[in-house]
Homo-oligomer: A and B are copies of this chain.
Amino acid sequence: MLFALSDPERLAIARQLVDGPLDMAECHLSNPDVPKSTKSHLMKVLRTSGVVRNEANGRARRLSLRREDLDARFPGLLDAVLSAEDGNAKV
């Protein structure tokens, strides 16, 4: 999990999900030109590390933070990570 969030792009994704689920297309990367396979891979890392959920939603994909699971397993960690340095710093 720490590894998944140690990448700025992945951390930024997690931050976008803090206010509720988003369809993949609504999740923005810092560089809007990365190919979809790359974006998909970023999601996969977040997914396999247990940070996000990724369920089919029509032809889209609904992404959501796995808050409960994470808070249960690592209390305080997610909050600390997501709030760290107001989102603009290397974490």
Contacts and interface: CB of A to CB of B under 8 A. Distances in A.
Q: How many copies of this chain? A: 2
Interface residues of A, number: 21
Contact of A91 (B77, B80, B85, B90): B77
A85 B11 CA distance: 21
Nearest to A4: B6
A91 B79 contact: no
Nearest to A89: B73
Contacts of A2: 2-3, 5-6, 11, 81, 91
A83 B84 CA distance: 18
Interface in A53-77: 73-77
A83 B77 CA distance: 9
B84 A80 contact: no
